[in-house]
Structure 1
Amino acid sequence: SSRVLIRGVNSISGNNNPLYVIDGVPIDNSDFNTVNTARGAGGIDYGNMAQDVNSDDIESISVLKGPAAAALYGSRAANGVILITTKKGKADARKGIGVSINSGVNIENVAYLPKFQNLYGGGTTFSGEGTRDGFLVQEINGIEYLIPDYATDESWGPRYNPDIYYLPYWSLYDWEAIGKPATNPDGTPYQLETVPWVAPRHDVEDFFETSVGYTNNIALTSANENGSFRLSYTNFSSNGYMPNSTLNRNSINFNGTSKFGKKLQAFTSVNYIKTYALGRPATGYDDNNVLQKFVQWGQRQLDMEEAKNYMNPDGTQRTWNRRAWNDPLPNYSDNPYWTRFMNYEEDWRDRYYGNVGLTYQIFDWLKLTGKYNLDTYTFRINERVAIGSQALPYYQEDVRQVTETNAEFLLEADKRFGDDFSTKLTLGGNRMHRQYELNGGITQGGLVIKNFYNLSNSLSPALVHDETTQKSINSLYGSLNLGYKGLLYLDVTLRNDWSSTLPQNNWSYLYPSATFSYVFSEMPGLQDQNWFNFGKLRFGWAKVGNDTDPYRLITLYENIQNFGSDIVYTLPGTLNNAELKPESTNGWEVGTELMFLDNRIGLDFTYYYKKTSDQIFNTPISAASGFTSAMINAGSISNRGIEFLLTLTPVKVKDFTWDILLNFAKNTNKVEELIEEVKSLRLGNGPFNISVEARVGEAYGQLVGTDFVDDAQGNKVVGTNGRYLKTTAVQPLGSVLPDWNAGINNTFKFKGFDFSALIDIQHGGKIFSTSYMWGVYSGMLEESAAINANGKNIRDDVADGGGVLIDGVYGKLNADGSVTYLDKDGNPVDSPVKNETYISGLRWASDHYSGPAAQNVFDASYVKLRELRLGYTIPNRYTGPIQNLRISVYGRNLAIWGRDNQHIDPEYTTSAGNIQGIEGGQLPSLRSFGINLSCNF
C-alpha cells in the first residue's frame, strides 16, 4: 500500500487520503488491509485500489491541495484531490487511424536487506555432560553426531568452525524418508551426512528471485471535426521477487466524443481492468511472513539451496525448526519454501469505471452538461494454510463488491463584458451512491482433507460473514469567477451536501470558499520588462464539512456465531451516536507565483493554515456501561505549513537545455484538543511494546512506549547491574509524521537525447522497528555479534573482555520521577558516576525487548536516488512511416543515504490508514531497471 498525505492529517480517526478522480470519475482507493496488517501484527497487504489505473493511458496528473477542492468534488475532497486525465483522440491527429505502441521490460531485485551477523550459528550453545563444542552429542546407529539446537528459532549457537561437522536437519529428513535404516546393505552402520559448521553459501538474499515484468500497450486514435476516439489495450505480466508469485493485469480504455449538429456533443470514457495475483507476501509479525523468520526468528547457518527441498515424499514438511532430532514436526517456524508454495493466497479483481454524458451548447456563452459516472469492481481473495504447517491449517475466502455511481449536471456560463470584465458562473448538482458488499467465510478448527481448499472442508462448522453498507450524498453547488483586465480575479464557491450517514437534523451542511488573486505583472510599467515575466499574489479561504461512515447513528444488536441451533445476538462494543454532526475544516492560504528571465526562473510559494473541529471518533468509556467506547463529536487538529517550488533553466542554448525543479514542503501538525479530561486517544497498538496515539499538544501519530531514564544533564541512567533503566509510565517517543519533504529533479536535453535524475528527501518522523528488536534479541542481526571497545566480540565472556558497556551513569529512579545518583556499589552519591559494569551480549540483546522501547525507535529520515532515466528520440526523417520512435532506459530506487536504522527502509508502509510508524518483518525494498520502446505510425 502507499499512503499519500496532502497538507497533513485532518481527521483523528477518519479517512485522511486524497480523492482520486479520473476524467471526472471519483474512483475508490480502499486498501482492505486489516488492523493487524496496519499495526505490523501480520496479514497480507493487497495494496490500494488505485493501482488499477493504467499508466500507459495517463495524459497528465495534477494535485488540488486546498479545501477549495471540496467545492468541486464534495466533502470527500477535503483531503485534496489527485486529478488524473487520460489520453484522448487528438483533434489535430493525422487523417485516418493512428497507431501507438509502447513496450517495456522491467527487472526488479531486492535492493536492501537487513545486515546479518555471519559468525555464529543457530540455536543455543550447549554445555555440560552430553555436549561437545556447544552441540549436543547424540548416538544414532552406533555413531555419534553433533546435534544443533533445531527447536530454538534464534542464533545464539556455537561460533562457526569449518573443522566442526554437525548433523543438519535435512540429513535427518533424508534418513527418515527411506525408513530410518540402521545399516547399509553390506551390514555396516548407516551413516547420516554431516557438513561443516560454517556460514551458508546460499544466504537470505538467494531466497529471493529476479522479478521480470513485461508491459505491452497498443492504442488506436482518430479525430476529425465530428468527433474523436482513442482505444487502447495493455497487458502487464510479472513474476514476483518471491517464489511462487505472479501478477497479470489486462486493461482496456476507450475515450470518445461525437458531435450531433453544432450544439450537441456526446462523450464517454470506459475502462475495464482484469487482475490476477498469486502469492502476495504476508507482512508483519506473521507465521507466513518469511522476512519475520529471516530477520526476527531464525538460524543463521541455514542454506537456502537446501531449503528448496521443502516436502517429504509423503507430503509432510521438511523444516529446519524440528522439535528435536527424533521429532520432525515444526516447532515454531515452517520452511520458507513450504510457506511460499503451500500457504499462499490468490486474488482476482474485475473492475469497470468510466462515464457517459452529453453537452448542449445553448448559446455561445452558455452550455449544459449531464453526466453519469460509474466505478464498480468485484474483488475475490482466497487465503490458506496447509495441513502440516506450524500454524492451525485454515482456508478463507472473501468476495467484495464495491459500486459507486455519481449522476450530475452542470450549467456553465462564460461571458465577457467589454474588454475589461470576464465572468464565469457555474451551477451544478450531484447524487453519489456507494454500496459495499462483503461475503465470505473461514474454516474453524482446522481442515479435514489435505490440499482441498473449500469452506466445506472445515473441521468444525465454518464461520461465515455477510455485510452490506450503503451511503448516499446529494449535492448542489455553484461558483462565480470574476476577472478585471487580467489583473484582478475573484473566485467564490458554495456547496451544500446532504449525507445519509448523518442524522436528519444535521445531514445538511454548507461550505463556501473564496480566492482572490492579483496579477501584478499586468500593471503598467511591468508588462514589458524582460527580466520579469509574471507575478501573482493570491489569498484563499475555505470551509468544508465532512461526514462519517455508514451506520454510526443507532446502536443495534449484532449476530454472532450461533450456539448450537440457537441464534445469538450481542451488543457491539461501540455505543453509536444519533446526534452526530459533520466535521468542519476552516483553512486559509496565501501565496505568490513569480517568473523571471524569459521564464527561466520560476518561484511558487504558499503558506497555509487549517483546523478541523468536531472530529468524529470513538472514545473509551467505562465497561460498566455495557460498551467499551462511544462515538462522539469532539476535538480539533490543526495543520500549518509552507510549500515551495523552484524551477530553473541554468543553461539554454541551441541544442542543449538544463532544467532544475526543486520542491519543498513542511507541515506542522498539532492535536489541539480531544474531549474534557482526555489527553490521548490510542489509534492502534503494535504487537509489542508500542502504540500509536493522538496526544493533545503534540503532533499526530505519537509513538508511545517506555523511554530511557535521563538525568538532568541528559545522561542515560543505568542500574548497578549495568542495564538501562526505563520509565515506569509510557512516554511519547516522537511523531510518525516527517518534519519536511523535498525533491530535486534535474533534466538535461541534447538534440534527441534526454537524461533526468530525481532525488527524494525526507527529514524527521519516527519509526518503531520490531525487526530490530527481535533481530537483536534472537542473535540474527550484526549488532548481536559486534566488536566492543576491548576488541572482543560482545558474545565473548565478560571475564575475557567481551560483553557490552552501556554509555550511562549509575542511578535509580524515584517514585516522583527524579533520579538519585549511585556509585558502582549502589551507594547514593551527589555527582554522576560513569557506568563501568559490562553486561553479557545475550543480556544486552534480550533487553531490547524487556528494556526501554525507545531503543527500537529510529529517525525516519532518508535521501533517495529515486530514478535515473536516459532516453533518445530518433528524428522522424530517419524512420519513414514510423514516427516518434523513442527508446529509454531507467533505474529506480538506486541508492539510499542517511538511514538511522540500516536494516529497514523508513519509507515502507503496509497501510494507507492512520496507524503508521510500526515496522515488523518489513518486506525488502526493490531496485528496478527497465527499458521502454515506443512509436507511432
Structure 2
Amino acid sequence: MDFTVNNQCGMPHIASHFHKNLIILSWVLAFLFTGTVLAQETKTIKGIVKDAAGEPLIGASVVQKDTNNGVLTDMDGNFTLTVPADATLSIAYMGYTTREINLAKRKKQGDLRITLSEDAQQLKEVVVTAMGIKKDTKRVGYAVSTINADELVKAGAPNFASAMYGKAPGVRITQTQGGSAGAVSINVRGLTSITGNNQPLIILDGVPIRNGGTGKSTDFAEFGNDGQIRSNGLVDINPEDIETISILKGASATALYGSEAANGAVVITSKRAKSGKLTVDFTAQVMANLPAYLPKVQTLYGPGTYNTAYSDYEKATGGFYQRTMNGQNYKSLRSTTQSFGPKYDGSDVLYWDGTVRAYLPLTDNPWKELFRTGWNQTYTLAISQGTENSSNRFSYTFMDEIPNALTGSFTKHNFKLTGSYKLAKPLNLEYSINYIVQNVKDRPQTSLNLYSGFGNMFSTFLDIPYLKQTYVTSLGYRNTFIGGNATLTPEESWAYDPSYVSGVNNMLWNMFHHHSDETENRLIGMIRPTWQITNWLSLRAQLSTDITDVKQTLEYESEQPNSLYDPSGSFQAINRRYDIVYGDVMLNFNYNINRFDIAATVGWTGRYENMNNIRVSTNGGLVTENWFDLNASRYTASSTLQRMELLKTGYMGTLSLGWDNYLFLELTGRQERSSTLKDQSFFYPSANLSFLFSEAFRMPAWWNYGKLRLSYGIVGNAPETYAANIVYEQGSDNDFTWNYVPSSLGNANIRPEKKYEYEIGLESKFFNNRLGIDVSYYNNRVKDQILSTPQPSSSGVKNMLMNVGEVANQGWDISLSATPILTRDFRWDLTANYGIYKNKVVKLADGVPYLEILNSGGSGVKIQAVEGQPMGDIYAQVPQVNENGEFLVSDNGLYLNQTELQKVGNINPAGVGGLFNSFSYKNIFLDFSIDFRIGGDVINEMNQYATAVGLTPESLKYRDTEHGGLSYYYPGGNNASGIPVKVDPSTTAGPNGEVIYHDGVILPGVVASTGEQNTRIIPAGYYYNSTYNWGTEAEQLTYRHSVFDNSYVKLRELTIGYQFPEKMISKFGLTRLSVSAFGRNLFYFYKALKNYDAESSTGTSWSSQAMVGGSTTATRSFGVSIRASF
C-alpha cells in the first residue's frame, strides 16, 4: 500500500491500488452474500439417546452437522428434529463420545435408537499452567481464566491484549492511543508493588518473553524517552496464531515462576496443525479508524482576556482590540491563548493573516483538523498438515497501517512456524519459530511532547487549514509574524502574532519536520524434546531465545536559516538490543495405583538477559542545514551507552496427589538465585486443593459439575536490574572527569518483594452445561516492598533502597456463562464477569508516612502511597473551610487554599468487568461485548488548563446572564483595581456612564478577614484563570478541579457475519467460508469523564494510567473481513 503526501497541507491520499483492493473485496463480499441456497427435501426424525446401561440421557444435544439446527433430548431421552433427508446428525453429551449418523447411508428406517459410550478423555478439559504443564482442569486448585481464539480475532483488535477487554474477571486492560504500534498494559487483580512492576509475566508456548511498558524509563519500550507513543513486547504476538490464552492469577498458580510472577502470568498457546490433510486458511481484513472522543470546546466566545485588563477601546467595543496596519486602525483581537474575548457576532475584524474576516467560529472543534482517518489492512495465510508422526503449521501475516496522526506509517511482517516430529517411538520433538519485522515511520507523539505551555489551548477562531499551508515558508523554514524573528521571506510572514497560533505551529512543525524511522527485528524460537522413558516417566528439556534488535534514526530539520541564527536541527542514531535465552529441564513422573494417583516433577530453569542501548547524537545544531550526519554537529557529538546483564537460575519441583478422581492436592516449590542480588537464594512454595463434590456425592441430574478450590502460595517481584548496586556516579567537564557518591544509594542486601496469598473458589455447571458460575475470593499481602527511603544527613546520602513496605489486597473474581436460548435455528450464549478489589498500604518505612509516586501541576496534585490508606490516593490543593464547613474567601473574592494537600480521590477502580453476547440464527451470527469500569479517578490537567483559558463548555458558566452571570460595573470605570458593584441585569450603564458587564460571580463562603458572608463580585474569566491555571499563573490555584471520576460503560466490539454452509462451498474446494463486518470502540453507554475519552492515558505504568490527555486521539473503528479454509 503506497501513500503520497501533499506538502502544502500534509494530508494523506490513499493510493489507487488500495482503492482497487477495497473495491474487489467489496465485490467478493457482495457476491458471497447473494449466493442462493437450493431447496432440499426434508424429513422429521424421531429417536432416543441412551447410555451403555440403557439409561436415557437427559439434555443430550442432537444437531444437524455444520448448522445450528438442533434440539435437546427430553426427560426420557427422546427427541424430534426436522432435517434434510441427506443430513448428518451429531449427537453429543458431556462425558460421552460424540456420534455422527449420516441419514442418507442408513439402511434401516424408522426411529433412531442411539447409544453413547463414556469418554474419559472428553471429561479432561485441559488447561495450560505454569512451566507449560498441561493439566486436567478438575485437578487445578486455583483460578484460571481461558480465552479462546475466536474471541481474539472477530472484531479487528490490533493485538491480543486489546481483544481481552472485559473477557476475564479481575483483568484490566489499558491501551495507549498509538494504534497498532502503541503499548498495552495488562493488570491482574490490582496493584501489588508501590514502585516496581505491576504487569504479568508473558509466556509464549511455555517460555517467558520480553514485555515492558511505557511511562517507565527502565523498560525496554521506553529507552530514549523521546516523547513518542511507544510499544511493548506483547503487541508483537499475532492474534491469528493464538489457540488459547490462560490467565494465571494467584500466587499458587504462578509460584513456579518465582520472582517474575507476583502479578500473575498470561500463558499463550499457539495454534498447531491437526491430523489430516493439508489445510490452507486465509484471512483478509480492512479497517478504517476514525478519530473519536475529541475534546469538546465552546463556540460562543473567541480570543481575548477578561475585563480587568481592558483598554478604553475594549471597554467601548465589548472586548475587541484595536490594531493599526499600514496606517489604518482596525477592530481586531488580543494576542492571547485565552478565550474570554467578545461573543461571536459576525462583525468584521482584522485576522492575524492580514485579512478582514467575519467574527464567527471557524470550526466547531479545532482538534478535528489535526487528525485524519486511519486505515489498517491485515492479511494472514496459514498452511498446516498433520500426520501420525509429524505436524507443521506455517503462517504469514502482513499488516499495513496509516495512523490518525497526519504523518507516519506502520508495517509489520509476522512469520510463524510451529510443529512437532516423532524422532522415534519414545522421543518427540516440538519446535516453534516466530520472526517479526516491523517498521514505524514518524511514531505518533504524546500531546505533551507536541505542545508547549498553553499552546494547545487554541480558540475556535483559528483557521487551521490555512495554517497547515503557511506554517512553513517557501524556503522550508518555520514561519513567523511581522516584527517577530528575522526571516529570509518577510513577505510570507503573518500580520501579527495571535499567540494561540504558536502552539499549532509548533505541533505542525514537529509532526511534519521531526522525522523518526524505526525498524525492529524480533526472533522468538523454541525447541522442546520429550523422551517418554516409560509409560509413567518422561524427561522434557527446552531451549528458547527472544532476540530483539531495534534501529532508529531521529532527524529534526533546521527550522531557522543558519545565516541568521545559530544552527538548529539535530540528528540521532539509536541501536537497542535485548536478548533473552531461556532453558529448562524437567523429569515428570505419573503413576496410578487403583483409586490413587500420583504425579511429580523435578527440574531446573535458567534465564539469561542481556540489553545494550547505544545512542549518538549531534550537539548544538546542524552546521549544514538538514545534513543528517554526526559530522554535521556544531560541537562534539554526544553518545550514551546503557548495558544490563542478568542471570536467574532455579530448581523447582511439584507433587500432585489424587484420590478416586475427585480429590486432588498439589504442592510446588522453587529455589531461585539472581546474579544481580547478593549471594543469596529465595524459596517460593505453594499448595492447592481441588475437591470435585459432584464426583464425590450423588448430585441432582440438573447439577452437572461442582468443584471447590483452595490454594496458598508465595511468589516474588524482583527489583530492577542493578537497583541494588552501590556505585559512584561520574561527572565531567571539557578537561577531566570525576566520581562522586550519588544522592540515592542502592543496597547490596535488597530482596525481591514477596506476595503471600490465599484463594478460595467455587466452580459449578448446571442444566447440561447451559449455566456455569466461577467465583473466587483472594487475599494477599505483599511484603518487603522495595522503596527508596530518606536517610539522616550523617549518612552522606539522601535516600537508600530498602525492603520496608507492605501492601494488602483482597477481592472477588466472578464469572457467569450461560446459554439462555437454544432452539433448532437460534442460539444465544452469554458470558459475564466482574472483578472487585481493594488494597491498602499497610506499612512504609519508619518515619515515612507517605511516598510520592507522581508530582504534577507544579506540585498542585500528587499521587501518593500513604500508610494506612489505599494505594494510589490523589492529593490536591483544596479551599480552606471554617469550623462550620464553610469555604474561606480571600479579600480578592477567590477561595483560600489549605496549606497542605488533601485527599481528593483514588486512581483504582472499585471493579471492572464485561459482558459478552453471541447470537446465531441458522448461518448468521452476531456478537458484541461490553466492558465497564466502576470508580477510579483520573487527573485531567488538559481539561483543567482548557477551563482556565475559557475553552471548555464548562467555562461558559457565569460568562453571561444566560449562563448565570451577575451584572456589575466598576466605579469610575477603573477595571484594574476597582471593586465591582452589583446591579440589576436590566441596567444599561453605571451612575457615571460606566460599562455594565454580565459575567460576574460571587463564590459562596465566608470572608476570612471579616467572618462575613462573601459578597465580592469577580469576573468569570478572572475566576477561571486564577483557580484552574498552572503554577505562578494562578492566584488561588485549586487542583481538585483536575480530578475526575472515570467510570464508564462501553460498547467495545460488535460483529455481524455469515457462515456459508459447507455443502454450498465444498463445490469450490472450500471447507469453511465466513464474511463479517465489525466495529470497535463504538460508543459509551455511560461516561463520567467530560470532554475527553475515558481511556486517553499517558502510558501503561500504573501512575501514568491515571493521567489523561497525554496521547493522540482515540479511534472508532469499522471494518470488514473474510475467512476461508481450503
Same-fold call, TM > 0.5?
yes
1: CA distance between counterparts of 2:675 and 2:654?
Answer: 25
2: CA distance between counterparts of 1:5 and 1:327?
Answer: 50
Matches within 5 A, 1:337-736: 337-388=508-559, 393-418=569-594, 420-504=595-679, 507-526=680-699, 529-560=700-731, 562-622=732-792, 625-688=795-858, 689-711=860-882, 715-719=886-890, 721-736=892-907
Among 777, 788, 802, the alignment partner of 2:998 is 802
Among 1047, 1056, 1062, the alignment partner of 1:876 is 1062
Aligned residues of 1:265 and 1:359 also touching (Cα < 8 A): yes
Aligned to 2:1048: 862
Aligned to 2:423: 260
2: CA distance between counterparts of 1:535 and 1:752?
Answer: 34
| Residues 216-225 or 397-406, more deviating | 397-406
Matched AA of 2:850? S
| Residues 196-205 or 127-136, more deviating | 127-136
Aligned residues of 2:552 and 2:575 also touching (Cα < 8 A): yes
2: CA distance between counterparts of 1:709 and 1:359?
Answer: 70
1:338 counterpart SS class: helix
Query: How many angstroms does 1:481 deviate by?
Result: 1.3
Aligned to 1:115: 296
Aligned residues of 1:293 and 1:333 also touching (Cα < 8 A): no
Aligned residues of 1:322 and 1:331 also touching (Cα < 8 A): no
Aligned residues of 2:381 and 2:396 also touching (Cα < 8 A): yes
Report the CA distance shift for 1:728/1:525 in structure 2 as closer, same or farther (over 3 A).
same
Aligned residues of 1:642 and 1:665 also touching (Cα < 8 A): yes
Count of residue correspondences = 883
Q: Which deviations, in whole Å up to 9, do the C-alpha atoms of 1:765-819 show, x marking residues without a partner?
A: 111111012101122222223456942575986754633546632153xxxxxxx
Matched AA of 2:476? G
Q: Are positions 1:215 and 2:378 aligned together?
A: yes
Query: How many angstroms does 1:859 deviate by?
Result: 0.7
Q: Are positions 1:297 and 2:457 aligned together?
A: yes
2: CA distance between counterparts of 1:245 and 1:797?
Answer: 53
Among 205, 213, 218, the alignment partner of 2:368 is 205
Matched AA of 2:1096? Y
| Residues 483-492 or 776-785, more deviating | 776-785
Q: Which deviations, in whole Å up to 9, do the C-alpha atoms of 1:195-244 show, x marking residues without a partner?
A: 22221148321321111100011011111011000111111001111111
2: CA distance between counterparts of 1:35 and 1:368?
Answer: 41
1: CA distance between counterparts of 2:879 and 2:1112?
Answer: 29
| Residues 864-873 or 392-401, more deviating | 392-401
Among 891, 907, 912, the alignment partner of 2:1095 is 907
Aligned to 1:89: 273
1:919 counterpart SS class: coil
Aligned residues of 2:202 and 2:210 also touching (Cα < 8 A): yes
Report the CA distance shift for 1:219/1:322 in structure 2 as closer, same or farther (over 3 A).
farther
Report the CA distance shift for 1:196/1:348 in structure 2 as closer, same or farther (over 3 A).
same
Among 275, 287, 292, the alignment partner of 2:438 is 275
Aligned residues of 2:205 and 2:268 also touching (Cα < 8 A): yes
Aligned to 1:820: none
Q: Are positions 1:890 and 2:1078 aligned together?
A: yes
Report the CA distance shift for 1:468/1:797 in structure 2 as closer, same or farther (over 3 A).
farther
Query: How many angstroms does 1:711 deviate by?
Result: 5.0
Matched AA of 1:852? T
1: CA distance between counterparts of 2:726 and 2:391?
Answer: 53
Matched AA of 1:58? I
Query: How many angstroms does 1:297 deviate by?
Result: 2.7
Query: How many angstroms does 1:549 deviate by?
Result: 2.1
Query: How many angstroms does 1:936 deviate by?
Result: 0.6
1:538 counterpart SS class: strand
2: CA distance between counterparts of 1:931 and 1:30?
Answer: 32
1: CA distance between counterparts of 2:191 and 2:482?
Answer: 44
Q: Which deviations, in whole Å up to 9, do the C-alpha atoms of 1:25-53 show, x marking residues without a partner?
A: 21111235456999xx9822202221111
Q: Are positions 1:251 and 2:433 aligned together?
A: no
2:955 counterpart SS class: helix
2: CA distance between counterparts of 1:35 and 1:778?
Answer: 33
Aligned to 1:840: 1019
1: CA distance between counterparts of 2:670 and 2:193?
Answer: 21
Aligned to 2:1011: 828
Aligned to 1:190: none
Aligned residues of 1:258 and 1:267 also touching (Cα < 8 A): yes
Aligned to 1:195: 357
Query: How many angstroms does 1:301 deviate by?
Result: 1.0
Q: Structure 1 length as normaliser, TM-score?
A: 0.89
Among 103, 112, 115, the alignment partner of 2:284 is 103
Q: Which deviations, in whole Å up to 9, do the C-alpha atoms of 1:416-455 show, x marking residues without a partner?
A: 111x112211111111011111100343333333323334
2:683 counterpart SS class: strand
Aligned residues of 1:511 and 1:545 also touching (Cα < 8 A): yes
Aligned residues of 1:873 and 1:887 also touching (Cα < 8 A): yes
Aligned to 1:755: 926
Report the CA distance shift for 1:746/1:116 in structure 2 as closer, same or farther (over 3 A).
same
Query: How many angstroms does 1:383 deviate by?
Result: 3.5
Matched AA of 2:544? N
Matched AA of 2:299? N
| Residues 409-418 or 140-149, more deviating | 140-149
Q: Are positions 1:235 and 2:423 aligned together?
A: no
1: CA distance between counterparts of 2:795 and 2:697?
Answer: 71
1: CA distance between counterparts of 2:1120 and 2:279?
Answer: 24
1: CA distance between counterparts of 2:334 and 2:792?
Answer: 48
| Residues 328-337 or 922-931, more deviating | 328-337
Query: How many angstroms does 1:71 deviate by?
Result: 2.9
Q: Structure 2 length as normaliser, TM-score?
A: 0.75
Aligned residues of 1:307 and 1:336 also touching (Cα < 8 A): no
Q: Which deviations, in whole Å up to 9, do the C-alpha atoms of 1:39-78 show, x marking residues without a partner?
A: xx98222022211111111111120001123333332112
Structure 2: any 5+ residue segments left out of the alignment?
1-182, 486-493, 970-981, 983-995
Among 466, 469, 474, the alignment partner of 1:306 is 466
Aligned to 2:333: 148
Query: How many angstroms does 1:508 deviate by?
Result: 0.3
Q: Name the Cα RMSD after superposition.
A: 2.8
Query: How many angstroms does 1:145 deviate by?
Result: 4.1
Matched AA of 2:862? S
| Residues 647-656 or 801-810, more deviating | 801-810
Report the CA distance shift for 1:280/1:795 in structure 2 as closer, same or farther (over 3 A).
farther
2:599 counterpart SS class: strand
2: CA distance between counterparts of 1:340 and 1:402?
Answer: 29
2: CA distance between counterparts of 1:363 and 1:542?
Answer: 32
Matched AA of 2:522? R
Report the CA distance shift for 1:854/1:873 in structure 2 as closer, same or farther (over 3 A).
same
1:638 counterpart SS class: strand
2: CA distance between counterparts of 1:691 and 1:593?
Answer: 42
1:302 counterpart SS class: coil
Q: Percent identity?
A: 29
Report the CA distance shift for 1:750/1:792 in structure 2 as closer, same or farther (over 3 A).
closer
Larger radius of gyration: 2
Query: How many angstroms does 1:136 deviate by?
Result: 4.6
Aligned residues of 1:536 and 1:594 also touching (Cα < 8 A): yes
| Residues 474-483 or 699-708, more deviating | 699-708
Query: How many angstroms does 1:79 deviate by?
Result: 0.8
Matched AA of 1:478? G
Aligned residues of 2:960 and 2:999 also touching (Cα < 8 A): no
